[in-house]
Amino acid sequence: MTLYNREQIRDIIFDALGAIAPEVEPALIAPDRPLREQIDIDSFDFLNFIIRLHETLGIDIPEKDYAELLTLNSAVEYLARRCAAQQ
Amino acid sequence: MYEFRMPSLGADMEAGTLVEWLIKPGDEVQRGQVVAVVETQKGAVDVEIWETGTVDKLVVATGRKVPVGELLALLRTVGEPAATAPETPIAPETPQAATAPAIVAAAPPRAQAAAVSARQRVAPAARKLAEELGVDIASVQAAEPGAVISRADVERAAQAKTLTPVAAKPAAPDWHAQMRMAIAAAMSRSKREIPHYYLATNIDVTAVSSWLETENLKRSVTERLLPVVPFMKAVALALREVPELNGFWIDGALRSSASVHLGMAIAMRGGGLVAPAIHDADRKSLDQLMADLRDLITRVRSGRLRSSEMSDPTVTFTSLGEQGVEGVFGVIYPPQVAIVGLGKITERPWVEGGAVVVRKVATATLAADHRASDGHRGGLFLAALDRLLQQPERLR
């Protein structure tokens, strides 16, 4: 499995967000504010976001960990940790 | 001879523009087959035919705006001889449809665009962007032939446009304004004609929430159920117990429906909403409901709905809990007679056996047509919903 660095993970998150909410401007996302306050996504969009991350990164994201994906920064940290753990 | 007419795709629809025929004279068609694409105020819709037979004649040409109920095509049913010799396909009229405005007036190279415009599938977000950027949506090409036109395609077209300025053209149809007009018409009619009554009750949803959590733990991410899914099933089952809430008010009388076709209120990106049907929701498994919901939302947001999904809902279900509201009192979509609402699930103090405990609670609401039912019956529906949600394992 590929080991992604934080920069790559950030881009993967932007790609996944862009696919569900095309109007999103990555540069305008405040990294420490909850994503769902900044982007108009519902639970269906969020599930698709998780599915995309799962497919791209090849990691499982259990439902109980959804809270870790609240902000951009916490999502990057969480996904980096999960990817490293899966090595 | 079966007469295929412009269907009504909702109370707010008066006319639709025939964008594309997917059949031609001589073709065999099956009941339920998608035979045409019609542009409505709520976007392009795949229109199905409800008869099996052979296409005899296409009466209306593509590009024409046609009132609801007007003859579109003639079909020979099984065993019926051809009344007329199969005709040559009718030539499309000069596009006057909302999808292809004013292309004729544009520069010659764009005439090509007029021909393809009738086959366009446009994502609502792309249509909106095109309006913002002043790009004629009819001139936009999809990345691959037949693909849905995306925002990226529009952006590409906008860049190209800055290189080759086009002659001034009439204002593009404002998709968002059209959607608002459609909603305004339906909701005004509802509030004018329907004497609503409103009920609300708090339901302890701890059991269904924990059941779903355990269930999703066993599932891979692609198979997980959204929280709304068990509620959809419970609403559909409860409606079977109170049929006065499931059906239509037509010509001064209630027509209850034996089937529960659950209209799911789905918000569109950038505003507006539609409430297409999940057919026979009371008889589907949770997995099937999830698959249907996924398919429906995906098509609402990026693709296209089918005519039966637009016209068939017997009741509407709106789950606004997503946005954090605790309760929603809906406006009935005529000629339906009820709309069920669900607010967000919150932990609240709850009295049980004389003690205060913390429970997951959601507020379920009902707005119903007082001509068709009374508050007592509405209350029985909410009680049934509560009872069904206490035994989530039986909702499968």
Which of B157, B172, B187 is at the close of a domain? B172
Q: From the CA of B302, how many Å to the nearest CA of chain A?
A: 10
* Residue of B216, B226, B270 with shortest CB distance to A43: B226
Amino acid at site B65: K
Bond from prior residue into B124 cis (ω within 30 degrees of 0): no
CATH assignment at residue B9:
2.40.50.100
- Residue at B256 is within a domain: yes
Do A54 and B221 count as a contact with CB atoms less than 8 A apart?
A: yes
Do A60 and B227 count as a contact with CB atoms less than 8 A apart?
A: no
List chain A domain ranges. 6-85
Contact (Cβ atoms closer than 8 angstroms) between residue A56 and residue A49: no
Do A22 and B228 count as a contact with CB atoms less than 8 A apart?
A: no
> B168 is in which domain, residue-wise?
108-172
Give the nearest chain A residue to B223 (CA atoms).
A51
Do A50 and B221 count as a contact with CB atoms less than 8 A apart?
A: yes
* Residue of A40, A47, A64 with shortest CB distance to B226: A47
Same domain, B377 and B233: yes
Tokens describing residue B393: 């394992």
Looking at domain A6-85, its CATH class is mainly alpha
- Residue at B189 is within a domain: no
* Residue of A23, A50, A54 with shortest CB distance to B125: A23
Same domain, B129 and B276: no
- Residue at B188 is within a domain: no
- Residue at B365 is within a domain: yes
State the Cα–Cα distance between residues B355 and B357, nearest whole angstrom.
6
State the Cα–Cα distance between residues B108 and A53, nearest whole angstrom.
46
B90: left (phi over 0), alpha (psi -120 to 50) or beta: beta
Our count of domains for chain B comes to 3
Residue A44 at interface with chain B, using a CB cutoff of 8 Å: yes
Tens digit of each residue's pLDDT, chain B (396 residues): 899 999 888 777 788 889 889 999 999 999 888 999 888 877 788 898 988 999 999 999 888 898 888 999 999 988 776 655 444 445 454 444 333 333 233 333 333 333 333 345 666 667 767 777 777 776 676 665 556 677 777 776 776 655 444 444 444 467 778 888 888 989 999 999 999 999 999 999 999 999 999 999 999 888 999 999 999 999 999 999 999 999 999 999 999 999 999 999 998 877 788 899 999 999 999 999 999 999 998 888 776 788 888 889 999 999 987 668 999 999 999 999 999 999 999 999 999 999 999 999 999 999 999 999 999 999 999 999 999 999 999 998
**A49 closest CA partner among A17, A79, A72:** A17
Q: From the CA of B222, how many Å to the nearest CA of chain A?
A: 6
Q: How confident is the model at residue A68 (pLDDT cuts 50, 70, 90)?
A: very high
Residue B132 at interface with chain A, using a CB cutoff of 8 Å: no
